[in-house]
Structure 1
Amino acid sequence: MTKRLISALCLSAAAMWLAPTQAAAGQKVHCTVILDAESGKALHREGTCDKGFAPQSTFKLPLAVMGYDAGILKDATTPRWEYKTEWKRPKREQETTDPTTWEKDSIVWYSQEITRRLGKEKFADYARRFEYGNADVRGVKGQTDGLTEAWLMSSLKISGDGQADFMRRFVNRKLPVSNEAFARTEAIIPQFSAADGWQVHGKTGSGRMRTKAGKFDGDSWLGWFVGWAQKDGRKVVFARLNIQDWKSEEPISFFTRDSLIADLPKLVK
Structure 2
Amino acid sequence: MRLWLLFAPLLLSACARSIPAAAPPSEAAARSPTPPSEVAKSSPVPPVVERVDGSGRELFAAAQVEGVFVLRSLATGEQIVTDAALAGIGELPASTFKIPNALIALERGVLAGADATLKWDGVERGGSPEWNRDHSLASALRDSTVWFFQEVARRIGPEAMQASLRAFAYGNADIGGGIDSFWLKGQLRISPREQVEFMSRLHRRELPVAREHMALVEHMLTRAQAPGWSWRGKTGLTDHEGRAVGWLVGLAERSGTTWAYALMLRAPETEVERLIPLRAELARALLVRHGALPPEAAR
TM-score, L = length of structure 1: 0.77
Aligned-pair CA distance for 1:40: 2.7
Deviation at 1:197, TM superposition (A): 5.1
CA contact (8 A) 2:245 2:272 kept: no
1:67-216 alignment to 2 at 5 Å? 67-77=105-115, 79-85=116-122, 89-90=125-126, 92=129, 93-139=131-177, 145=178, 147-193=179-225, 198-210=229-241
Superposed CA deviations along residues 225-265 of structure 1, whole A, max 9, x for unmatched, are 00000011100000000001366785624311222112212
Could you tell me how far apart the structure 2 residues matched to 1:247 and 1:148 are? Answer: 25
TM-score normalized with structure 2 length: 0.70
Aligned pairs (5 A) from 1:213-252: 217=242, 220-245=243-268, 250=273, 252=275
Q: Is contact 2:239-2:272 (8 Å) kept?
A: no
Whether the aligned pair in 2 keeps the contact of 1:68 and 1:180 (CA below 8 Å) is: no
Distance 1:178 1:236, change over 3 A: same
- DSSP-derived class of the 2:120 partner: coil
Task: Tell me, in whole angstroms, the C-alpha distance in 2 between the residues paired with 1:205 and 1:183.
Answer: 21
Letter in 1 for 2:229: W
The 3 A distance-change label for structure 1 pair 223 and 183 is same
Tell me by how many angstroms 1:198 deviates: 3.5
Q: Taking structure 1 as reference, are residues 151 and 249 closer, same or farther at Cα in structure 2, changes over 3 Å only?
A: closer
8 Å contact kept, 1:75–1:99: yes
Q: What is the alpha-carbon root mean square deviation over aligned residues?
A: 2.2
Q: Which letter does structure 2 place at the counterpart of 1:199?
A: S
In structure 1, the residue corresponding to 2:88 is in which secondary structure?
A: coil
DSSP-derived class of the 1:68 partner: helix
User: For the residues of structure 2 that align with 1:39 and 1:249, how far apart are their CA atoms?
Assistant: 36
Contact 2:239 2:245 in 1 (8 A): yes
Say if 2:107 and 2:213, in contact at 8 Å, map to a contact too.
yes
Please report how far the alpha carbon of residue 169 of structure 1 lies from its aligned counterpart in structure 2 after TM superposition: 0.6
Cα drift, residue 165 of structure 1: 0.6
Q: Secondary structure at the match of 1:121?
A: helix
SS of residue matched to 1:63: helix
Q: Give 2:104's match in structure 1, choosing from 55, 58, 66.
A: 66
The question of whether the paired residues in 1 share the 8 Å contact of 2:196 and 2:249 is answered with yes
Q: Matched residue pairs, number?
A: 225
* Aligned residues of 1:136 and 1:155 also touching (Cα < 8 A): yes
- What displacement does 1:209 show? 2.3
